[in-house]
């Protein structure tokens, strides 16, 4: 069966994440988005683990189900901070677990090395090689996926503390790594310019810090498999049953190009090279982004063997841009959004499939035009940099005054 999964999720106990997140809100957001299964997020955190076990019921296939029969997969993210080859490394990995018993065994093992109760994304001074060995000593079915692989901070290829290859990070344990997470600031064509990554499958997950629909499912992975841990694991490891990914436009990501947020400086890789990586305002080193790192490591001008993918920016962002509304959670945005969801099933259907004429019956034609531009990868995006999200740039003709649109109802 076909389904869409997002397996990089956070609960309320991870740093910089919403304290209002619940499993019920995650499920509700997933259904609105069009997701069919979620990661539990942060399952090693004791309080969140308790919530998972009290709220969800595990089946014999390693899937945990809500009372309304929505599936979750045991999952967490972990932060490893260590020194490797004389350089400080800060690497995040997504972990998938086959069942509750394995989660408990991993929890007990890690408690011998530190704490799990202070952050849903716990930090350990364990290098990635040793960490693979630790996980495999518990179960060979634990999957380790380098998270948001290219992001400047906390990533396997990140400019601040990363490596130049999977093999440099994991050495001979690289054979146990089967996929990498593309992250918001990169997409499959960018990754497939690096030939050393050809042997690794590409997955995309959203790493949301809340259950809001503009964060949840903004990136996801499409499967053609049974909803069971074994089938999902096999798809990620072999590529069979891995249909492709849903990606955000990489320019929308917070670390796509280089810059300094404090100095309001954003630069493309060519400009950064001319400046030798130094900010022209404060004269300190720039935060080097994903596009630069791709150029550094790419050994192809053009990508090869690019897997199937869809590339769209979240619907809420489109609505806010068209109607010139700054707050994504504003009343006006929600009214337009909910009207679309009511009439067109879910957000993925609106972004990827719904016909122009059907959408035009629901909302203003200017918004429909932007939805189609988004679908066709033709939106003009001011790229994100140094922790600042990319921004949709529309012409005056593409924007609308919300108070004059007959399809929007009363606010």
Question: Does residue 407 register a pLDDT over 70?
Answer: no
Report in angstroms the alpha-carbon separations of 356 from 249, 360, 366, 394, 402. Answer: 21, 6, 11, 19, 20
Sign of CA dihedral 266, 268, 271, 276: positive
Contact call for residues 187 and 377 (beta carbons, < 8 A): no
Question: What gap in Å lies between CA 108 and CA 100, rounded to an integer?
Answer: 12
Q: What is the pLDDT of residue 410?
A: 31
Are 238 and 151 in a shared domain?
yes
* Residue 67, CA distances (Å) to 1, 26, 27, 63, 211 in order: 22, 14, 11, 13, 19
- Global pTM value: 0.95
223 within a domain of the structure (yes/no): yes
The reply to whether 356 and 229 lie within a common domain is no
Residue 162 maps to a domain: yes
Q: How many C-beta neighbours within 10 Å does residue 198 have?
A: 10
Residue with tokens 């990089």: 8
User: Do 241 and 317 lie in a common domain?
Assistant: no
Cα distances (angstroms) measured from residue 384 to each of 77, 207, 256, 267, 290: 24, 17, 5, 10, 10
Percent of the chain residues topping a pLDDT of 90: 94
- As to burial, measured by CB atoms within 10 angstroms (0-12 exposed, 13-18 middle, 19+ buried), residue 249 is buried
Domain that holds residue 10: 2-251
User: Residue 100's pLDDT is what?
Assistant: 98
DSSP structural state of residue 308: P
What tens digit of pLDDT does each residue of 193-208 get?
999 999 999 999 999 9
User: Which residues is 265 bridged to in the sheet?
Assistant: 260
> Are residues 326 and 205 both part of a single domain?
no
Count Cα atoms within 13 angstroms, Cβ side, for 77.
Answer: 30
Question: Last residue of a domain, which of 201, 222, 251?
Answer: 251
- State how far the Cα of 126 lies from the Cα of 135, in Å rounded to an integer: 12
Q: Confirm whether 29 is domain-assigned.
A: yes
DSSP 286: P
| Residue 269 CA from chain centroid, whole number | 23
- The pLDDT of 225-245, averaged and rounded, is 98
**239 and 322, same domain (yes or no):** no
Give the span between the Cα atoms of 200 and 195, in whole angstroms: 10
pLDDT of residue 1: 78
Q: Verify that 247 and 317 share a domain, yes or no.
A: no
403: pLDDT strictly greater than 60: no
Confidence of residue 375 (pLDDT cuts 50, 70, 90): very high
Based on its alpha-carbon atoms, the radius of gyration of the chain, rounded to whole angstroms, reads 21
Residues in contact with 94: Cβ distance below 8 Å, sequence separation at least 6, in sequence order: 7, 8, 39, 75, 76, 77, 144, 145, 146, 147, 181, 205
Q: Residues 41, 122: one domain?
A: yes
- pLDDT score, position 396: 85
- Residue 405: pLDDT over 90: no
179 inside domain: yes
Do 247 and 330 belong to one domain? Answer: no
The angle formed by the CA atoms of residues 181, 111 and 120, to the nearest 5 degrees, is 45
pLDDT of residue 402: 54
Residue at a domain's end among 210, 228, 251 = 251
- pLDDT tens profile 237-273: 999 999 999 999 999 999 999 999 999 999 999 999 9
In a domain, 196, yes or no: yes
The residue ranking higher by pLDDT, 398 or 211, is 211
Residue 76 has pLDDT above 80, yes or no: yes
Domain end, chosen from 251, 283, 304, is at 251
Q: Determine if residue 95 is left, alpha or beta; phi over 0 gives left, psi from -120 to 50 gives alpha, anything else beta.
A: beta
Per the domain annotation, does 92 fall within a domain? yes
Residue 100 belongs to some domain of the structure: yes
Residue 263 covered by a domain: no
* Mean pLDDT, rounded, of the chain: 95
Query: What is the distance of C-alpha 236 from the center of its chain?
Result: 16
Does one domain contain both 333 and 240? no
Total domains in the chain come to 2
Range 6-11 average pLDDT: 98
Report the DSSP beta bridge partners of residue 183: none
- Mean pLDDT, rounded, for 130-155: 98
Q: Residue 201 and residue 30: Cα distance in Å, rounded?
A: 24
Residues 363 and 224 in one domain: no
Same domain, residue pair 228 and 317: no
- Whether pLDDT at 406 is above 50: no
Mean pLDDT of 171-198: 98
CATH number at residue 189: 3.20.20.140
211 and 352 co-located in one domain:
no
């Amino acid at each position: 069966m076909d389904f869409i999964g997002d397996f990089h999720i956070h609960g309320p106990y991870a740093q910089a994440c919403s304290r209002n997140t619940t499993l019920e809100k995650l499920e509700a957001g997933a259904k609105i988005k069009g997701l069919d299964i979620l990661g539990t997020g942060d399952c090693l955190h004791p309080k969140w683990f308790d919530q998972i076990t009290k709220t969800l019921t595990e089946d014999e296939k390693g899937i945990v189900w809500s009372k309304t029969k929505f599936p979750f997969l045991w999952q967490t993210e972990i932060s490893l901070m260590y020194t490797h080859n004389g350089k400080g490394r800060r690497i995040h990995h997504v972990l998938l677990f086959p069942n509750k018993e394995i989660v408990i065994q991993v929890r007990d093992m890690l408690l011998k090395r530190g704490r799990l109760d202070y952050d849903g994304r716990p930090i350990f001074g364990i290098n990635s090689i040793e960490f693979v060995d630790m996980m495999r000593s518990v179960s060979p079915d634990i999957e380790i996926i380098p998270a948001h692989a290219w992001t400047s901070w906390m990533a396997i290829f990140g400019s601040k503390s990363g490596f130049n290859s999977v093999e440099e990070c994991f050495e001979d344990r690289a054979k146990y790594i089967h996929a990498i997470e593309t992250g918001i600031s990169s997409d499959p064509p960018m990754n497939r310019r690096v030939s050393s990554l050809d042997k690794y499958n590409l997955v995309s997950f959203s790493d949301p810090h809340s259950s809001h629909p503009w964060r949840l499912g903004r990136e996801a992975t499409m499967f053609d498999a049974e909803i069971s841990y074994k089938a999902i694991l096999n798809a990620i490891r072999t590529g069979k049953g891995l249909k492709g990914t849903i990606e955000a436009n990489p320019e929308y990501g917070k670390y796509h190009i280089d810059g300094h947020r404090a100095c309001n400086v954003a630069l493309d890789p060519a400009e950064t090279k001319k400046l030798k990586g130094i900010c022209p305002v404060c004269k300190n080193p720039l935060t080097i982004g994903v596009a630069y790192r791709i150029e550094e490591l790419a050994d192809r001008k053009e990508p090869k063997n690019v897997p199937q993918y869809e590339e769209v920016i979240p619907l809420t962002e489109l609505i806010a841009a068209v109607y010139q509304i700054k707050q994504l959670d504003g009343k006006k945005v929600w009214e337009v959004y909910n009207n679309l969801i009511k009439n067109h099933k879910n957000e993925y259907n609106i972004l990827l499939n719904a016909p122009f004429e059907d959408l035009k019956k629901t909302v203003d034609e200017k918004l429909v035009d932007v939805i189609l531009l988004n679908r066709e990868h033709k939106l003009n995006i001011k790229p994100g940099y140094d922790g600042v999200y990319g921004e949709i740039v529309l012409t005056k003709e593409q924007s609308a005054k919300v108070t004059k649109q007959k399809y929007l109802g009363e606010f």
